[in-house]
Amino acid sequence: MEVIVAKTAGFCFGVKRAVESVYRQIEANEGRPIYTYGPIIHNEEVVKDLEKKGVQVLNTEEELAALKEGVVIIRSHGVGKHIYDILNKPGIAVVDATCPFVKKIHRIVQEENAKGRRVIIIGNEHHPEVEGIKGWGDDRTMIVESETQIDELSLLSDEKVSIVSQTTFNYKKFQDLVEKILKKGYDSSVLNTICNATQERQSEAREIASKVEAMIVIGGKSSSNTQKLYDICRRECEHTYYIQTFDDLDPESVSSVRSVGITAGASTPKNIIEEVHTKCQN
């Protein structure tokens, strides 16, 4: 069996940086409480390992507000400005592991608002990255993810609009939605904030999936970028499987094929990808 592993599979720069920051804090703050605001990444295996080492996950603003001491790590997805305000108190050390590419969007949103422009974020409104981006906007900031939502846009004819995107959004879909907004005739400024690594990962996954008989996509079930990879691969290869670890894969599903492709979301550790690769070969 031929097994092709995507070169872009696995941790991206921002995720690797965030995970490494947590392990550094574990070593540097022995005995001091360490928290992450939300899971540091959307991968259950990594989160479980950190929990074994004493790292606690906080999921609500109320939990943050109740803290009296400890180290709080802001994950790669980033947070809204008000979260920094909550954590700005004695006894709390903040380690900001926000992906630099996400930080850039925060700055853009602030700057565009300061110019008097309305910001439209293209992305999933329930994703923590998008929630964080919106937290740097104002009351006019909007989130859209579908053509239906764009059809329903009702803005002033002379309103100035700036468009940004969730870093992991599907690039082709972003282009389609932007084109639909531009057709409405607003004074629009488009800032493509999709991460280059995301575009490369999606393009490579599409190419591999079009050449193989079966495709395996590895990643956490709550990972937005992994879900998008699966959707892309599924359109190219009927036999596409979404797994978190090799244990989720039925070996019979790929036992009779001559070629298998493997890709993985940005939150998938290298050891899991290697395990799937090795077992597929065997």
Instruction: Tell me, letter by letter, the H, E, C secondary structure of 234-254.
Output: HHHCCCEEEECCHHHCCCHHH
The percent of residues above 70 in pLDDT, for the chain, comes to 100
Give residue 224's pLDDT band: very low, low, confident or very high (50, 70, 90). confident
pLDDT of residue 9: 94
pLDDT digits (tens, 9 = 90+) for 38-80: 999 888 888 999 999 999 999 999 999 999 999 999 999 999 9
pLDDT of residue 282: 78
Which residues span the domain enclosing 218? 2-10+197-281
Over 80: is that where the pLDDT of 273 sits?
yes
> For the domain that residue 275 is a member of, what is the CATH number?
3.40.1010.20
Tokens representing 112 are 């565009």
Clarify whether residues 91 and 134 are in a common domain: no
pLDDT digits (tens, 9 = 90+) for 147-157: 999 988 888 77
Clarify whether residues 261 and 249 are in a common domain: yes
Higher pLDDT, 251 or 85: 85
Question: HSE of 14 in the Cβ direction (CA atoms, 13 Å)?
Answer: 25
Least confident of 40-49, 201-210, 267-276: 40-49
> For the domain that residue 26 is a member of, what is the CATH number?
3.40.50.11270
Give residue 262's pLDDT band: very low, low, confident or very high (50, 70, 90). very high
Clarify whether residues 186 and 220 are in a common domain: no
Clarify whether residues 185 and 108 are in a common domain: yes
| Pairwise CA distance, residues 102 & 224, whole Å | 15
The percent of residues above 90 in pLDDT, for the chain, comes to 77
| Domains identified in the chain, total number | 3
Work out the average pLDDT over 121-135.
Answer: 96
Residue 38 backbone phi and psi in degrees, to 5? 80, 160
Give residue 225's pLDDT band: very low, low, confident or very high (50, 70, 90). confident
Domain-terminating residue out of 53, 76, 98 = 98
- In contact, 202 and 171? CB cutoff 8 Å: yes
Clarify whether residues 230 and 188 are in a common domain: no
Could you list the active site residues? 129
Prediction pTM value: 0.84
E runs forming strands in the chain: 2-5, 34-37, 55-58, 70-74, 92-96, 118-122, 142-144, 160-165, 187-190, 214-218, 240-243, 259-264
Domain-terminating residue out of 161, 194, 227 = 194
pLDDT of residue 248: 92
